[in-house]
Amino acid sequence: MKRLITPPSIDYVGIMGLFFGALLSVSAASDRLADSPNIIFILADDLGFNQLGCYGDTPIKTPNLDRLANSGIRFTQAYSGNTVCSPSRVSLFTGRDGRLMENNSNTVQLRDIDVTVAHVLKHAGYDTALFGKYSIGSQMGVTDPLAMGFDTWYGMYSILEGHRQYPQFLWRDGRKLRIKENEGGKRGAYAQELFAEEAIDYITQPHENPFFVMLAFSSPHAELAAPKKYVDAYEGGFPETPYGGMSSGEPSDKYAWYYPEPVDQPHATLAAMVTALDDYVGRIVRALEERGMAENTMIFFTSDNGPHDEGGGDVEFFRASAPYKGMKRDVYDGGIHVPMIVHWPAAIRRPRVDATPWAFGDVLPTFAELAGVSLNLVPRVRTNGMSIRGLLKDNPTAMPERTLYWEFGKQAGDPNSGIIGEIFQAARRGDWKAVRYGLGGQVELYNIGKDPGENRELSEFYPEVHQEFSELFRQYQN
């Protein structure tokens, strides 16, 4: 008699449960992705706190940015990652402040093991793109934008490329492109407009996923130059002393080797550069509105550090850092205290001014939370920033008090030589701010809330607070 083989029992109900559970999980992830905001992070270069209309008494016209600020959140106590370009951008990209940075000078670059904000957003399924100035990659194919989390990029690769407003070449996805309109001394293609046009083209393409766009302008950094229509709007508006550059055969200032072109109207030109950026931001906003994308698109606008005095720039004339002391390369607040505007109609319906202190190192954890990414599950991520997601709504959640820290390895001699000289340090906790210029220098103590210009040094009146900051500086000075 044949033996009957009984097939193994199959739990069809269990299998179907797993199947539908997986479908629900995928559906939930898809819904979460669909609800995730598009993010556009716009970074100006060497723009001072008081060079936007919404932040003070500047004669520079910025109507589009003023409208964003008046319909979103205008942060008044936001800080960059450093007082010069490269360490500030590395802080922004990696979520680290000077305590976790291996190099706090302008020679710092991303390492191939670094995890960037673009990497983190790729974990959430975002499309990612960078337009404009990069300047923190050490090797193409290893730490260029494509290798550091961006799907596509267009702009300037090295730091010195960012010194030209009418470049003769740019890069697209690692390929060098001639800008023929600027060859032979011509000025036919303004870099900032090219960056904005590329960003708009990308934003308005069909996207199945939410997108993250990093738009890093290289203005109003020197060299001072802008399209004629913007300069003409300020002609005769300011007293002018022409900047000579190298036109006489001798440098007119210590930066002339980098910015040799003379500028007849440096004040009008710098103002024109800022107004041009404002115009390009307005074009982006209009493109979003025309396509019905503005509601759930977050726009951040800020600067990488304080204002400059290079190539004809004049910080004092425009009171560019007011009410703060110092400028680019200072760790007084004028060098690191930056404008920060956040516009997100879907979540911010009641405009406000917010005085919460935060800094560039907080951007990566903030974007991770916005996108629903647990940083515990992202390999190699290393951040000491704190998410400010709780501030980005109409009923903000107060953040706990903490200590913010900056460290700058000043470059000795030529300002762009890369030779490490003095070490500057700064820290802020609540209204207390401490600075030290040089490892052997005095630790200065200020109440930044009552004395934003850092004019009244208070260490003798508050020795315990002074001692706490002194110990912090000693801990991290190496």
- In tens, the pLDDT along 124-168 reads 999 999 999 999 998 999 999 999 999 999 999 999 999 999 999
The edge-to-edge listing of strands for the beta sheet with 432-437 is: 403-411, 420-429, 432-437, 443-447
Give the distance, in angstroms, between the CA of residue 345 and the centroid of all CA atoms in the same chain: 21
Q: Print the SS3 string covering 359-389.
A: EHHHHHHHHHHHHCCCHHHCCCCCCCCCCCH
Secondary structure E strands in 23-76: 38-44, 73-75
Q: How many residues belong to the chain?
A: 478
Write the CB contacts of 309 (distance below 8 Å, at least 6 apart in sequence): 315, 327, 328
**Alpha helix locations (H) across 95-248?**
117-122, 191-203, 228-232
Q: What is the pLDDT of residue 420?
A: 61
- In tens, the pLDDT along 284-312 reads 999 999 999 999 999 999 999 999 999 99
- Rounded to the nearest integer, the mean pLDDT of the chain is 92
SS3 of residue 312 by DSSP? coil
The 10 Å CB-count burial string (b at 16+, else e) for 440-457 is eeebbbbbbeebbbbeee
What is the torsional sign of CA 354, 88, 271, 219? negative
- In tens, the pLDDT along 235-289 reads 999 999 999 999 999 999 989 999 999 999 999 999 999 999 999 999 999 999 9
Q: What is the pTM of this model?
A: 0.92
Q: Do residues 86 and 106 touch, judged by C-beta distance below 8 A?
A: yes
- In tens, the pLDDT along 24-82 reads 444 444 445 558 999 999 999 999 999 999 998 899 999 999 999 999 999 999 999 99
**Which range, of 1-10, 176-185, 209-218, 315-324, averages the lowest pLDDT?**
1-10
Of 239, 256, 255, 237, residue with least CA distance to 247: 256
Angstrom CA distances, 116 to 146, 297, 437, stand at 11, 21, 30
